[in-house]
Structure 1
Amino acid sequence: MHGKGARSFGERFADALRRRLHPNTTLTVQRLAGLFRLSERTIWMWLSGNGCRGEHLAAAIGLFGIGFAEEVCGPAPRHPDDETERLLVRMETELARIRAERSQRA
């Protein structure tokens, strides 16, 4: 933990990911690694709160949905400023790319 009650991005990402993995669901570390085309070691690093980058968050949001993003980053602002709007557009573009890749593999 960092300070009283404050958790790092990596810790929040790991917690949200853990809730979506076996034994809470049927999704295993091995299967998740395959979906992301990453090593199981990378997934285990994420689960320890380390190594997650922005593109990993985008891929996880593409797989798990906006609820995952809100667990990790907090709810989206009701009235985004210009910078937030630009970031949201970039995230939506990345999610569309991830979904297109996933549908091509299916």
Structure 2
Amino acid sequence: MKMDLAKLVAGLSPTWAAFLTDWDRSLRSGNYPPTTRYNYLLAAAQLCRYLTDHTSQPGGREAVATPTAVTRRHVEEFQAWMVQTRSASTALNKHKSLQQLGLDP
């Protein structure tokens, strides 16, 4: 599986795109398989897109302009939305992927 990182981060803020690019480099250096890297990075990109469109905390989009601004509440909102809009197994997969990033509620 050949992953297109540029496509995965397209439309994300430059800060998020750089963060995910750096994380991919770290995953590659850890010899993670391409499918695992893709799943991890996809979950983080989906979190970013969700927060950009749906965040309910004060500050809106500015509150999630950078991955370091993401709070437990943000991740819990994303997970609740995943459970409501996707299958249970997909929601669990996203949860496990975000755990690898350290974004575990």
Superposition TM-score tier, normalisation by shorter sequence: 0.3 to 0.5
More helix by share: 2
Q: Could you state the TM-score of these two structures normalised by the residue count of structure 2?
A: 0.37
